[in-house]
Every structure is written in C-alpha cells, then in structure tokens.
Amino acid sequence: MEIWFADEACIGHKDRITRRWARQGTRLAAPQDQRTASKYIFGAVCPWEGRGAAQVLPFCNCAAMNVHLAEIAAMDAPGKHAVLLLD
C-alpha cells in the first residue's frame, strides 16, 4: 500500500476596479472586463516512494479530478494500492 498526499490550487487574476475622474455628485459609466483567467493545479506526492503526479487544468470539477486520479494510478507501483489523503 502506498500513501499519497494531494492538494489543488486555483491560480489566476482578476482585473482591478476601473477609476475615473468625475464632477462631484455625478457618476460615470466605467465598463470593465469582469472575466477572470484562471488555471487549477492538481498535485500529489508519495514521499516514501519518491513519486509525484501533477496536472494544470482549466477547470476544477469531477472530470478534472478523474484525470488527476488516473495520473496517480498510472504512477502507482504494480500490485500496490494507493491511499490518497486530501485536505
């Protein structure tokens, strides 16, 4: 049996708030792009065996986690079971 430790993180940015000069008591329309550009990093490591698995994926959902689990299964030693500890 191998014990793996896993974690995921969201890396991305969001644009700053747009500021405009205006006469006191008035409001100006200041359209701004509110979209975000993010990526999700999935990583796992088995410290006793010295192996790791990581992916950078565009979404954090069930399909992305299945890709990550398949990568861990591919790195697992033949005939052993992997126990994955998530936070």
Token readout for 25 is 């008591």
As a whole number of angstroms, the distance between CA 32 and CA 15 comes to: 8
Nearest alpha-carbon partner for 85 in 51, 57, 43: 43
Q: Is residue 18 within 8 Å of residue 30, measured between CB atoms?
A: yes
The predicted structure's pLDDT at residue 15 = 57
The predicted structure's pLDDT at residue 19 = 65
**Which residue is it, tokens 């998530």?**
86
Q: Splitting the chain (87 residues) into consecutive groups of 10 residues, what average pLDDT does each group show?
A: 91 66 75 72 93 91 93 88 89
Nearest alpha-carbon partner for 42 in 50, 53, 27: 53
Q: Distances from the Cα of 13 to the Cαs of 6, 35, 50, 82, in angstroms? A: 24, 9, 33, 34
